[in-house]
Amino acid sequence: MKNSPAVSLTPSKRVLFLTKDPELIRRQIAGELDLRMADLVVDDLLDDINTDVMTPAWVCFDYRPEDLARNAYAGLIVDGERLIPRDGLRNGQFEVIVSGYRKGVGSSRETAVQAEKWSGIRIAIAASFAPIHAANNVNQGVLMGDHEMLTRLQAGEEVPLVEFCRGYDSLTSSKIGHGGLFAFSRALASGEAEVPTVDTPTRPMTMAEKVLAAHAVNATDFVKPGDALVVRVDGGYSHEFTTAQVHYFLQQELGADYRLANPERFAVFEDHLIYADEVAKMRPFMDQIEELRRLQREFQAHTGVRDYSARDGVSPGICHEVARQELVAPGQFILATDSHTCMGGCNNALTWGVGATEYANLIATGVSTVEVPESIRFELRGELAEGVTAKDLMLHILLQYAKPQRTLNRVMEFGGEGLAMLSMDERATLTNMATECSARGAIAELDETAVTWLLSRRRDLTRDAILAAGVSPDPGAQYEGGVVEIDLGTIEPMVAHPGDPDRGIASDPTNGALVSDLGRVEIDIAYGGSCTAGKVDDLEFYHRVIAEAVAAGRQVAPNVEFLIQFGSRDVEEYCRSRGYLSTFEKAGVRLISPGCGACIGCGPGVSDRPNQVTVSAINRNYKGRSGPGRLYLASPLTVAASAFVGAITAYEPGMFGGMAS
């Protein structure tokens, strides 16, 4: 529905304030309390509400928005109980929801917005929004505003719609005005909406700007941050956690016989829920999960997109890991329905996650709209010390640059002679975790290492084609986030700790600390896997530590479960061919077939009690995402060393008193 040019509150509707004091939320939901912004300060409101809290994984097993909205905020748990019970948001007659900073961090799941919208919310108020979540709000037609606007609304003022469009480019503003992406697309098709021509003069460009300029259909050869572009999309993918919605939305929008123009450019993966039946908490949902799988198969058969389904119950691999090996090429613009799509940036491409609505629209039309983002460059120098990995570097970046929001909504550009010292798998760790930095995406420079790696895997690419399509930054390119020089030799083993709820410190990937400053933290679970840490080099890291431990006669510490999960079938095969599997088994490691798992709470390796402590090589430690326990993020080397010591410990060569042969 088109938004009115002046926005006001509906007298019969209410405003829900998500306060740091849970009792105030409980009373608002119970209908005992109505708050006013004028009586509060932003600091009273919850920050960093992540999308797993808004719609935990199990809520998304209901793919129809009207169904999943019944469990809005099911992950907001205090003292073991939901603060907002089933139907609580919908029955409260709320039309505005209010929170603090960085609303909607974490997974790109659009269900978080849908849960609010289908509960009656039409305005979300926050001090800032995570980029993908903000895009999802725009695509769903939910207005976003700040606390000052809310004060005026609650005082009875009408706030002009243009104020809700402030800071957005003209295409996004038009989407907001039309009430969402599908409505905007219909307006474009009927001529009611127009695409502006972008006429940015010649200027030096960053790598992200160059990729977007090359894909823009409404611009000349140059773009700058803030330009509103319609861009060709080279390809994309979805997985069984998201595909059912994409199919459902396309059927609703275009009819049951809808068709895709270029299905061969897109793919479906079966990777996210493949081992959910091994988690007791997930077993009650197996019928819904099976329905999601069935709908993905139906979508694949209907559209003819590339098929990466499981065979004999085993996934071909995590979508992002397989995509960077088989689908993503230098200079391309790739969008997929998962926040870690940014991992593909390691291939000198621009790749990021989008919600189901945007994905449905782009696979139907072949284009998407983009506001050219700003960039921040990381100029890497020197070399990582022995025992330090790209994961430690990224935990350092999260603490030093993401926490103070220097990466927020920007593209992180990685280059410099230090990047050349990192393998492609290590570069993939950097670009993968751009989403934890609340960045728009990440892109790594192209060099001989990248060209050789790509040619060894891709029959569809030639050296000439790679070099012609690849991008490098122009001298004089502008980085609004600055150019950050990092001497890799100064990086030490790091963790991100799970915060301190009593002091209001949420569990967050930006909670960086040196392992050496941590004190003794005993662990129950060590997990190595996920798109971040299930690659060949990660398995090499695990193997290096485990082989040393086995040579010294050590076993995984008593009371610790150490699980390793392969990122893809190829990674598993690599380990088998080198005899690593028997070393892992000798040490007492539990091996898990390729795919996603613990990091989404849907596979072996999740905690099942609040007092359990996990050290994990995954990418995010948001509360409750991988079970109720406390989760520390760390490098593959630290995870493996900790598994043998029984407490979080950085790896040092020879630490077990014997060396592998």
| C-beta of 375 vs 431, nearer to ligand SF4 | 431
**Smallest distance from the beta carbon of 232 to ligand SF4, in angstroms?**
25
Q: What single-letter DSSP state applies at residue 231? A: E
Minimum distance, C-beta of residue 590 to ligand SF4, in the bound complex (Å):
17
Q: Is 340 in the site for ligand SF4 (CB under 6 A)?
A: yes
Q: Which residues pair with 45 in a beta bridge?
A: 19
Question: What is the length of the chain?
Answer: 661
Count CB atoms within 10 A of the CB of residue 162: 12
Query: Is the CB of 106 or the CB of 373 nearer to ligand SF4?
Result: 106
- Restricted to residues 531-550, the positions that interact with ligand SF4 (CB under 6 A) are 531
Binding mask 485-524 for ligand SF4 (x = CB under 6 A): ----------------------------------------
DSSP-assigned letters across all residues of 397-455:
HIIIIITTTSSTTSEEEEESHHHHTS-HHHHHHHHHTTTTTT-SEEEE---HHHHHHHH
Nearest of 109, 638, 594, 41 to residue 313 by alpha carbon: 594
Show the beta-strand stretches assigned E in 120-169.
123-125, 143-145, 159-160
The Cα–Cα gap between 228 and 598 comes to 38
Q: What is the DSSP letter of 74?
A: T
Among 103, 133, 175, 272, binds ligand SF4 (CB under 6 A): 272
Using CB under 6 A, which of 318, 349, 446, 525 touches ligand SF4?
318
Indicate whether 35 belongs to the interface with ligand SF4 (CB under 6 A): no
Q: In angstroms, what is the minimal distance from the CB of 530 to ligand SF4?
A: 4
**Is residue 108 part of the contact set for ligand SF4 (CB under 6 A)?**
no
Smallest distance, ligand SF4 to C-beta of residue 310, A: 14
Helix-, strand-, coil-residue percentages of the chain, each rounded to 5: 40, 20, 40
In sequence order, the 6+-apart residues with CB closer than 8 A to the CB of 112 are: 51, 54, 55, 104, 133, 136
Give the residue closest to ligand SF4 by C-beta: 596
By CB under 6 A, is residue 338 in contact with ligand SF4?
yes
Assess 328 for contact with ligand SF4 (CB under 6 A).
no
Q: How far is CA 478 from CA 204, 234, 370, in A?
A: 7, 26, 19
Terminal Cα-to-Cα distance of the chain (whole angstroms): 68
Site size with ligand SF4, rule: CB under 6 A: 11
> Based on CB atoms, which residue is closest to ligand SF4, 338 or 548?
338
Using CB under 6 A as the binding rule, whether residue 530 contacts ligand SF4 is answered as: yes
- Residue 575 CB, shortest distance to ligand SF4, in Å, is 18
Q: What's the min distance (Å) between Cβ of 275 and ligand SF4?
A: 11
| Phi-psi group of 639: left, alpha or beta (phi > 0 → left; psi -120 to 50 → alpha; rest → beta) | alpha
466 is a site residue for ligand SF4 (CB under 6 A)? no
Taking residues 592 to 631 in sequence order and writing x for each that binds ligand SF4 by CB under 6 A, - otherwise, the string is: ----x--xx------------------x------------
Closer residue to ligand SF4, CB minimum distance, 112 or 600: 600
| DSSP tally for the chain: helices H, then strands E | 25, 26
Nearer to ligand SF4, 348 or 619 (CB): 619
Residues that bind ligand SF4 (CB under 6 A): 272, 318, 320, 338, 340, 530-531, 596, 599-600, 619
